[in-house]
Structure formats: C-alpha cells, structure tokens
C-alpha cells in the first residue's frame, strides 16, 4: 500500500507550524542577553551574529557578517586556525577569552563554543559570548586591596615584634 499524500490544507497547516517555530527561534536569538555567532570552520568566516554580539563588539547590524573571526580575537600565541582545530578535536570549549572591539579596545568575555555540522555551511562553531570586563575589573580591585591589606598586616606585625 502506498502512503496517503497530505492534503493542501495539511501542508498549509504544517508550513504555518514551521514558520511559527522559526519566528520564535529568531525572536529568542535576537533578544538574548548573550552574544551569539556562527563561524564557518573551514575558513573562519562569521556567517551569523545576533544583535547582542554586534553590540558587544561594537559593530552595526550585519557589519561583522562575512568577516574573518580573527578581527574579534585579541592577539595570542595561537592562531585562529589552530584554535578552530583544537575545538574541532574536543567538540566543545568553555573559558575566558581576550577579545577586541571594532575600535580596538581589548576586553574579556566568557565564551562557550560548540562544533556541529550545518547543512549549508558545513562544519561550524556556534559561539556564545558574555562580556565579563566589569567582573574582571572587580576581581583585580579586590586582589589589589587584599595585597595592600596583607602588606599593612605584615608591617603592623613587624612593629609589634619590635
């Protein structure tokens, strides 16, 4: 027996469901607090960036799409290509990265990067970024204060011992 073919109405209903799901996913991505981008692994090209990603890095709408991922990476001992190969081997990477804004200001981000096979772009990285510059500044301030406090305690102890 052959399967019954869907009616026009059934196809219209299914299409409406798919369009609704895509609309919801698009709204979620566009309104996330984190920056999200999709990078084509074979050449390091940014093929998608949500509005938050563009804002974090100081780019206008659509301006970063088509650019090489190296424009957002602060210089390190590893090349962007080496980083892609490393992440491709392990599949998922999480950590703090030093980035650079469009106008050249370096800043810290917390990043989570996953690799997967995309039907159009091939092997890709989906990267989720959160700007942690303020947290890093607060940690640095706390560390400086702790060092000062230890130094003052050491001086007071020496005075007491004298």
The reported pTM is 0.77
Structural domain boundaries of the chain? 33-131, 133-162
**pLDDT surpasses 70 at 54:** yes
Cα-based torsion angle of the residue sequence 90, 93, 98, 101 in order, rounded to the nearest 10 degrees: 110
Q: What is the pLDDT of residue 74?
A: 82
Q: Collect all residues with Cβ–Cβ distance below 8 Å to 74 and sequence separation of at least 6.
A: 97, 98, 99, 100, 106
**pLDDT (0 to 100) of residue 43:** 92
pLDDT for the residue 91: 85
CATH 3.30.450.20 fits 33-131, yes or no: yes
pLDDT tens per residue, range 94-104 = 999 999 999 99
Tens-digit pLDDT profile for residues 88-130: 788 899 999 999 999 999 999 999 999 999 999 999 999 999 9
Q: Is 128 left (phi over 0), alpha (psi -120 to 50) or beta?
A: beta
Higher pLDDT, 66 or 74: 66
pLDDT score, position 21? 92
């Amino acid at each position: 027996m052959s399967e019954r073919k869907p009616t026009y109405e059934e196809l219209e209903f299914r299409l409406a469901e798919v369009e609704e799901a895509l609309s919801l996913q698009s709204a979620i991505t566009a309104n996330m607090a984190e920056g999200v981008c999709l990078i084509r692994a074979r050449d390091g090209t940014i093929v998608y960036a949500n509005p938050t990603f563009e804002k974090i890095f100081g780019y206008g709408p659509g301006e970063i799409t088509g650019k090489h991922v190296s424009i957002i990476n602060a210089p390190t001992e590893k090349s962007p290509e080496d980083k892609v190969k490393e992440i491709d081997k392990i599949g998922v990477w999480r950590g703090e990265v030093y980035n650079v804004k469009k106008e050249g200001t370096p800043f810290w981000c917390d990043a989570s990067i996953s690799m997967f096979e995309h039907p159009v772009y091939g092997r890709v990285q989906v990267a989720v970024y959160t700007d942690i510059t303020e947290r890093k500044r607060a940690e640095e301030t706390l560390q400086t204060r702790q060092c000062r406090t230890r130094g003052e305690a050491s001086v007071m102890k020496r005075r007491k011992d004298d």
